[in-house]
Structure 1
């Protein structure tokens, strides 16, 4: 018997010693800790790596260079120390962390992804009991939830204690990032507390970040006791993209079913990108207990969001008890003002029942709207309802009714009656028979499918109705089914939509169908405009016989055809619009016509015969083809003799108006001038011909190639009539600096001579040269050209015209000519003083009255200012000069030093 007992006890003792040894190795050695850690990491989704491990499971382990990779996030940690109180596992059935220290934590959030961990609950109570998450009040909190289960990839299921306690946790240098950049940066985080199935106890949570401090203490079970304090004088140290000052204190106390919240705080000088907030002040004391006080005071000062929104002030106030209180909201902004008041209270359920008893809206274009009568508003934990909220503006009425659940089902209906459109276009005058009031109704329903309906009545003879239904499918796609009907017998409304149009007439009708999928919609049906007519005052034309048709002749393609007349010509339009999966909606157009009157204004008349192909994709426009101009008349306005031009140094400073994104135009167009293109003005009367190639590309200045010829023309200047023998303006790129090759002449029968001028070079640097046949001197050639007489026969009144011609035309050897003219006139000085620029040029004539006294007379060539000057030489280096004109008088003492 003893031997039998020995055979039984001995193996048991050996097994116990073996287990004890294994536990000692597992808990007390570094290899055991490494083996246990690697085994545990098999249950973690994603990839975990560490560079070094020290310590044991019994004394605590230290990891260096921890890296965790998962499709949803990346984590890096320079150092991590963890120590556990192992007796708590079997004594308290909890995980107790006595020490958790970390340095250099980097957490980067990526895209959302499904994890490989399945979490289930092993409840000691009835499995059919309702979940506290779904209950209004967690009455099942007394259920004995004990364990969570983690399902590892190997299929092994390990029961883990639900309760966890942390005696000390400190993490230094923590950075939270997203794919867009840094989100949160902390210097240190400290935590102590515990959590179980029925309670959460945060003994102390403290966050430090660049002088900012957040402290949280909370106990949550059947009672709520939460205290949160935030002191953030430098928000930029906590949130990298935000700056400002935040001070906040939050207290939540009371039963879990009826907590009371107290919140006080202020946010000052907040800036983030183009968002600026001067101040936000919070003071709330609210709760669910019907007999507890209800007080709300939230004030906002100076909110600016870019250039679109500016809110100087907003104020939300509430006062009363939870079961009976009043809320009022007043907002002032650049988009309009709103004043709202609600009265009501909390009821069982819980729910909120009340009335909207004041609503005033004021907006620059929409006008002033006032609530007609109080409207019922009701909210509970599953649904919301607003009954017949109606606003009035004179005879106009706007009513809204809505109801729905928080799961997405519901309905919204909007009715608008007798609303005038005239305030939106105050400068447009509508015909007397046209009523600008509009009435409309819209309804949106959402259940198994989303349905939207619209009905509009406007301008007495116009109607618009439509319906769209969206039906989700199991494969994630959404089916479309809709239609739109339009009938408008009076197009006067276009004058409201496009203020540059006047006297718009015609009939517009349409019946459109929408089908397919939301990702690939298909549009069918037809839209027609018939007997259209309109006047465009800016162009001075009236377009008649407008016919347009838009229909679906092929799948996913809309065909556009149309025609119009202006003057004696016609314009035709053909094109298509394709519905593509990427939503670009490319538009292809062909524009053709003959002798279409494009402009009829006092300064210009033009008829065009286009043959253009256009492709429009978003903001990109590609144009190819030609435009012939068979007939045009350009009448250049003649400036008054003493008109002052705009200085080249003048800079126009515009306001800060937002400029829309420019169109990206690629153009290759040939422009041809026909046989009846004339230009007149500034003494020129000419008929032009020629061809130009117009090239335009995004980011590249407009370029012109080709030449414009003067087929015949005359030029009148200085009382004389010149014939244009040859005229060529040559473009080789920049449109503002073409090459010049012009030759004009006149015959002088009295002297049997032909004189003229040749102009070459470029518009920026022209060169001119005089010629005569038979040859004469340069001075006589100029005099014959300008006055019809040689210089010896020119009178005193001709001098101004001669000098002005030299200044304007920039004639070669102009100085020699003026010297010769001075000799002929018997003057000691006869020159052109150009000053700083051509506009200040003046003709200066002078004669010595004595060896020391010089009399000068100056005449402005362009400003017509006459000046008399006297210069008296006191010594060889010192002189006294006086000047007198209609604009100023002066006296100067001048000292000259010659070197």
Structure 2
């Protein structure tokens, strides 16, 4: 007992523990190994702390900066040892091979070893075991360990490791493990692992969970991978590890039976490839591991290639080679089969055979719009690749069979490609179809020497593509080397047509002369559609002379749009082309632009560059500099300087304006006087014929940034024009004479600045102008000034901001935009604030038109006191107010516009006026008092209210062309498109701008409505209800009365006793009820007109009662028909009967014929009353008959003589608007 107490006392004290450590160090240290430490504290009874621990032997050198341990000896009383904590920091471990290894001992028998020591008399519990910062070096290879922590226990033969956490710089692992240390050594484990960094920008760091169960002979595993893909693996692995550890076998040969399933995914970095399903099974040993895979894949390679396929693979991994029994890629219409072997035992060798069969390859090639139809694709071949360790690869590709049907024509081919490490060789390349074929032979050696020959003969291109027609024949031979090839080429293409482009002939001739290659392309009369016209390229010539390392290019193009001449030198170098553009001329309607000096050019995959390229025409110049690095980073600048704005003018407009000016200002001595040459300098989109400008414009701009990321692109542009003039040609009416007028507006400055930076657009502009004195250009008294400024912005999210301001102290410029008005004066002030975004802009508007007046010469109106405003606080509602005076009347328009930028926009207007003059001409003057409401939307337009017509004074001297209606049953043949047919039957004004129109209006005539013309002089009264329904013709109901008036017929005045126009639907065919009378001595005669305007019927009446002929005679001549003796009176009677539509006309005509003693008297009409004529006839002799016809409404007369020579032969002669002589021969049957 005393010894135990004494030993415990030594262990419990620091000095005792130090003494014991010294004794242990002495025992450990020897000639073959060393152990020491720098500092120690603590005790063996509660725990030791060591600093600077070092141990070394023949194979191991270990150094620990700190070692801290704590244990509780009291737990021994409970039959277990508990290590409360153990922390090792700063471990440096170096492992080397033992130069004198000991002789091998007997094989390890794990079960015997464990049985000799287990179970232990006490249990062992290790808590808070931690290793921080370890570096392990073995045979020159370093391995870094950030940390290792775990808890462990051993009770009997049951061992557990919990809270395991293992971290290295690249990855981390944590989990729990338990094992039974008795055969077959059962194991249970759950381990989670994760990589520390993402694999790439698009592929996340992988991580996974592994679950193990079973024993050291057979393990069952379940693994879930996530991150770049979701892959689940499960199955079993037969290790036989227990047998190996117990010396029952000397090898470990695991046998796998695993299934791997991939969730649907898009391949990172290759988003066009989608894996719908994937399953892989691995069965067997590493020496004979069977691989079976099934997958469903969608591959959208590009816009024209989209493949949906199933993939099946059966292969075996046998040591250092992979045998592919079958790899099948199947689509809906075909399959690709591959078999072969990949061997890496020495050199990497690939031997494979393939076959392709597809009945409809076009099903996964997007060729619908290309005009190419592919069917029945067949091919087979062999591939061999050898990649030895030396790096000299050998390649052989044999394609003995290739067949495909293109647009119902079979194309067959074959080829062979090989590379032996020194020479590339293409042999037996041939494509043929019927009488078309392509043959190519080529080889290239490692010293870049080449030898190639090819033949192309295609007599009908349409057989391969329906949109292409023509023939191609070509022969080519290339020899020499890549730096200085010798080219011999002859190509002829005839009658080539692609869609609407026609090339009659194209030739390419290549020759080598004195060591220099010369390649020349020629063509001409090429028809090219441009917009709605067809332009002609009259001649094209491209000539290349030299070698790839140094050559010259000359290009000449002559076309109906202009001419181009380009001369350049260059070379192929550094994977691209670089050279110098020596000269260029571009002659187009925009002017003849000549290059001022040479410019350096460079084009490659990493850099494309144009250095200071400038053209000049007349006084203007255009310069461009640009570079594009790595196909993305752009840096460009451009300058257009002093470009003449006169190029926007029409020659005829300039001359008309100059003729109206005191002295010419637009066409001067500096411009060619020849009209044709001047026209060549004019732009194809000129200003209107009543406008012309004078001055210059300059544009400068820069662009920089990434073209693939618009948000980083920076763009600036400045547009400026100084001291420019705008001339407006107009007309004014002075004392009934049309006078040509000129308005000149001058802008001292026009500046526009646009900028794009960080995805934000900024636009600022300012235009100042004033009206100049045309007669005295130097006059400083300015009639009008104007100013327009804008300050707008749009952010990267398309949000808007800014404003637009207007300031005009006169509006004379409006005359050029609206030639119908003249003498425009007034002021326009306004501001528009912009906010919102592009999809829903918000406009806060405040625009005022004040003190404005103008004339409308065509209507004889002078409009004054015009004041208008448009106001809105946002884009939701705009209020509209307009007031004006016309004549003695005032017109007011008030309303609102709702949501003008949406499809649901609505407009409402209230139009009110009193005695407003609407026309004031010599032949027509009228006023109106409207009280009308207008409601409009995208669905309908509705007009309702009342319009009173207080005054109309209409004098009709002649009918306008539109007053003559075309007969309803007329058939128009070959009617010109630009001419409209006037036919009220076809008039249906039921829509406005495609929007259905409805209306309900009351039109009321006042007391001062007078109409005169064509013998009628009357006052009208009454009112009409006019209704317009959608998709229907307008209808009118109401009555207009002839309150008083006279009707003059053939010089005689009839008094209108009563008159009514009754509207019962049709607005252009009212019913008539008109009664006109004349009193002669004691007789009262008249006509009653009834029917409709289109079918007028008249009857005669008298007091006392008279025959109809006498009534008409008294009405027209003042005498009964028996007293008529002159032909003139007879004509008047017949014309009156016809024009008044009097019934029983035939009886009246017979009475007149008998009274005048004529043999024939008739009224002839070809259909329309306006074509009616009066025919009078008299036999001079029994064989000679004279006819005289006079138009009743047209001043056309004709005289005809009929002479009967025999019973069968008759001679007819006519003289009038045209002359003719006819001979008629009659044959009786």
TM-score w.r.t. length of structure 1: 0.71
| Residue in structure 1 matching 2:897, options 577, 586, 589 | 577
| Residue in structure 1 matching 2:766, options 440, 455, 476 | 455
Residue 513 of structure 1 pairs with residue 825 of structure 2? no
Residue 440 of structure 1 pairs with residue 750 of structure 2? yes
| Residue in structure 2 matching 1:102, options 345, 354, 358 | 358
Seen in structure 2, the aligned counterparts of structure 1 residues 265 and 580 have a Cα distance that, compared at 3 Å, is: farther
Are the counterparts in 2 of residues 770 and 778 from structure 1 also a CA contact under 8 Å?
yes
How far apart, CA to CA, are the structure 2 residues paired with 1:164 and 1:447? 54
Seen in structure 2, the aligned counterparts of structure 1 residues 569 and 282 have a Cα distance that, compared at 3 Å, is: same
How far apart, CA to CA, are the structure 2 residues paired with 1:218 and 1:421? 69
CA displacement 1:568-623 (0-9 Å, x = unmatched): 11111222233466467544333221221111123322212223333455797554
Are the counterparts in 1 of residues 622 and 638 from structure 2 also a CA contact under 8 Å?
no
Are the counterparts in 2 of residues 96 and 165 from structure 1 also a CA contact under 8 Å?
no
Map 1:234-253 onto structure 2 (within 5 A).
Answer: 234=462, 237-238=466-467, 242-244=499-501
* Deviation at residue 809 of structure 1 after TM alignment: 3.0
Are the counterparts in 2 of residues 345 and 353 from structure 1 also a CA contact under 8 Å?
yes
| Aligned position for 2:1048 | 716
* Deviation at residue 529 of structure 1 after TM alignment: 0.9
Are the counterparts in 1 of residues 940 and 998 from structure 2 also a CA contact under 8 Å?
no
Are the counterparts in 1 of residues 581 and 601 from structure 2 also a CA contact under 8 Å?
no
CA displacement 1:814-863 (0-9 Å, x = unmatched): 11211122122233322223356544433233344555554444333334
- Aligned to 1:478, the other structure's residue is in SS state coil
CA displacement 1:185-223 (0-9 Å, x = unmatched): 998798989999xxxx9979999999999999999x999
- Aligned to 1:421, the other structure's residue is in SS state strand
Map 1:369-518 onto structure 2 (within 5 A).
Answer: 370-372=618-620, 375=623, 377-379=625-627, 381=629, 382-387=634-639, 389-392=641-644, 396-407=695-706, 408-422=713-727, 425=729, 435-437=745-747, 439-448=749-758, 449-460=760-771, 461-472=785-796, 477-518=797-838
* Deviation at residue 273 of structure 1 after TM alignment: 9.0
- Aligned to 1:40, the other structure's residue is in SS state strand
| Aligned position for 1:682 | 1014
| Residue in structure 1 matching 2:555, options 297, 307, 317 | 297
- Aligned to 1:459, the other structure's residue is in SS state strand
* Deviation at residue 170 of structure 1 after TM alignment: 5.6
- Aligned to 1:237, the other structure's residue is in SS state coil
* Deviation at residue 412 of structure 1 after TM alignment: 0.4
How far apart, CA to CA, are the structure 1 residues paired with 2:414 and 2:808? 71
How far apart, CA to CA, are the structure 1 residues paired with 2:520 and 2:1203? 90
| Aligned position for 2:342 | 87
* Deviation at residue 344 of structure 1 after TM alignment: 3.3
Are the counterparts in 1 of residues 939 and 995 from structure 2 also a CA contact under 8 Å?
yes
Are the counterparts in 2 of residues 290 and 323 from structure 1 also a CA contact under 8 Å?
no
| Aligned position for 1:135 | none
| Aligned position for 2:584 | 328
* Deviation at residue 687 of structure 1 after TM alignment: 1.9
* Deviation at residue 172 of structure 1 after TM alignment: 3.9
| Aligned position for 1:40 | 295
How far apart, CA to CA, are the structure 2 residues paired with 1:551 and 1:202? 80
Seen in structure 2, the aligned counterparts of structure 1 residues 93 and 416 have a Cα distance that, compared at 3 Å, is: farther
Are the counterparts in 2 of residues 629 and 673 from structure 1 also a CA contact under 8 Å?
yes
Map 1:482-631 onto structure 2 (within 5 A).
Answer: 482-553=802-873, 556-579=876-899, 582=902, 586-615=906-935, 621-631=941-951
Map 1:167-186 onto structure 2 (within 5 A).
Answer: 172=404
- Aligned to 2:637, the other structure's residue is in SS state strand
| Residue in structure 1 matching 2:976, options 646, 653, 663 | 653
| Aligned position for 2:598 | 344
CA displacement 1:88-137 (0-9 Å, x = unmatched): 79965879673334331224769xxxxxxxxxxxxxxxxxxxxxxxxxxx
* Deviation at residue 787 of structure 1 after TM alignment: 1.8
Are the counterparts in 1 of residues 336 and 356 from structure 2 also a CA contact under 8 Å?
yes
Seen in structure 2, the aligned counterparts of structure 1 residues 714 and 7 have a Cα distance that, compared at 3 Å, is: farther
CA displacement 1:386-434 (0-9 Å, x = unmatched): 2462224576221111111153312000001232221x64668898895
Seen in structure 2, the aligned counterparts of structure 1 residues 856 and 751 have a Cα distance that, compared at 3 Å, is: farther
- Aligned to 1:538, the other structure's residue is in SS state helix
Residue 770 of structure 1 pairs with residue 770 of structure 2? no
| Residue in structure 1 matching 2:1090, options 739, 756, 759 | 759
How far apart, CA to CA, are the structure 2 residues paired with 1:265 and 1:695? 70
- Aligned to 1:41, the other structure's residue is in SS state strand
Residue 779 of structure 1 pairs with residue 779 of structure 2? no
- Aligned to 2:858, the other structure's residue is in SS state coil
Map 1:869-880 onto structure 2 (within 5 A).
Answer: 869-871=1200-1202, 873=1204, 877-878=1207-1208, 880=1210
* Deviation at residue 740 of structure 1 after TM alignment: 3.0
Are the counterparts in 2 of residues 610 and 627 from structure 1 also a CA contact under 8 Å?
yes
How far apart, CA to CA, are the structure 1 residues paired with 2:284 and 2:1197? 121
| Aligned position for 1:71 | none
Are the counterparts in 1 of residues 725 and 744 from structure 2 also a CA contact under 8 Å?
no
Seen in structure 2, the aligned counterparts of structure 1 residues 404 and 865 have a Cα distance that, compared at 3 Å, is: closer
- Aligned to 1:87, the other structure's residue is in SS state strand
- Aligned to 1:299, the other structure's residue is in SS state strand
Where does structure 2 lack aligned partners over 5 or more consecutive residues? 1-105, 108-239, 258-281, 316-322, 368-388, 470-497, 510-516, 571-577, 647-665, 667-693, 707-712, 733-738, 772-784, 981-991
How far apart, CA to CA, are the structure 2 residues paired with 1:586 and 1:779? 65
| Higher RCO, Cα 8 Å, sep 6+ | 1
Are the counterparts in 2 of residues 250 and 261 from structure 1 also a CA contact under 8 Å?
no
Bigger Rg, structure 1 or 2: 2
How far apart, CA to CA, are the structure 1 residues paired with 2:907 and 2:425? 63
How far apart, CA to CA, are the structure 1 residues paired with 2:1156 and 2:832? 86
Aligned residues: 772
Are the counterparts in 1 of residues 890 and 913 from structure 2 also a CA contact under 8 Å?
yes
Seen in structure 2, the aligned counterparts of structure 1 residues 263 and 709 have a Cα distance that, compared at 3 Å, is: farther
Are the counterparts in 2 of residues 501 and 536 from structure 1 also a CA contact under 8 Å?
yes
Residue 353 of structure 1 pairs with residue 601 of structure 2? no
Seen in structure 2, the aligned counterparts of structure 1 residues 535 and 410 have a Cα distance that, compared at 3 Å, is: same
| Aligned position for 2:141 | none
Are the counterparts in 2 of residues 712 and 724 from structure 1 also a CA contact under 8 Å?
yes
How far apart, CA to CA, are the structure 2 residues paired with 1:495 and 1:788? 58
| Aligned position for 1:307 | none
Are the counterparts in 2 of residues 95 and 164 from structure 1 also a CA contact under 8 Å?
no
Are the counterparts in 2 of residues 96 and 167 from structure 1 also a CA contact under 8 Å?
no
Seen in structure 2, the aligned counterparts of structure 1 residues 215 and 467 have a Cα distance that, compared at 3 Å, is: farther
* Deviation at residue 652 of structure 1 after TM alignment: 6.6
- Aligned to 2:359, the other structure's residue is in SS state strand
Are the counterparts in 1 of residues 518 and 546 from structure 2 also a CA contact under 8 Å?
no
| Aligned position for 2:34 | none
Seen in structure 2, the aligned counterparts of structure 1 residues 416 and 273 have a Cα distance that, compared at 3 Å, is: closer
Are the counterparts in 2 of residues 210 and 238 from structure 1 also a CA contact under 8 Å?
no
Seen in structure 2, the aligned counterparts of structure 1 residues 560 and 604 have a Cα distance that, compared at 3 Å, is: same
Where does structure 1 lack aligned partners over 5 or more consecutive residues? 68-77, 111-143, 147-162, 176-184, 252-259, 303-310, 360-369
Are the counterparts in 1 of residues 545 and 553 from structure 2 also a CA contact under 8 Å?
no
- Aligned to 2:1113, the other structure's residue is in SS state helix
- Aligned to 1:812, the other structure's residue is in SS state coil
| Aligned position for 1:790 | 1120
How far apart, CA to CA, are the structure 2 residues paired with 1:851 and 1:616? 76
